[in-house]
Amino acid sequence: MKAKLLKDMFIEEKDGKYSSKKIWGAIIFVLVCAAFIMDGLKFYTANKDLFIPMLTAACTLIGLGTLGAIFKRKAAANE
């Protein structure tokens, strides 16, 4: 299950190629999470006006392709 989730995060299912959209989303997500952790540990203060849009962009880049694939699988299973 975990390997399938990680595979879906980086590889397009129909072509088997790496998705640059998903890879950039993962990179942005990791950077935003690191900034959030360092802000919580008081290493520096993160700009909250920049934090929310970056988190939204990262989740959108990762999530749209993954959610689309999940809904396509469910629709195909119901038919």
Quote the pLDDT of residue 39.
85
Quote the pLDDT of residue 15.
72
Quote the pLDDT of residue 46.
79
Where do we find the tokens 């469910």? 74
pTM of the model: 0.61
Amino acid letter for position 22? K
Whether the CB-CB separation of 36 and 24 falls below 8 Å is answered with no
> 62 exposed, middle or buried (CB, 10 Å; 0-12, 13-18, 19+)?
buried
Q: What CA–CA distance (Å, rounded) separates 67 from 20? A: 16
Quote the pLDDT of residue 26.
81
Whether the CB-CB separation of 14 and 76 falls below 8 Å is answered with no
Quote the pLDDT of residue 66.
65
Question: For the chain, which residues score pLDDT lower than 50?
Answer: none
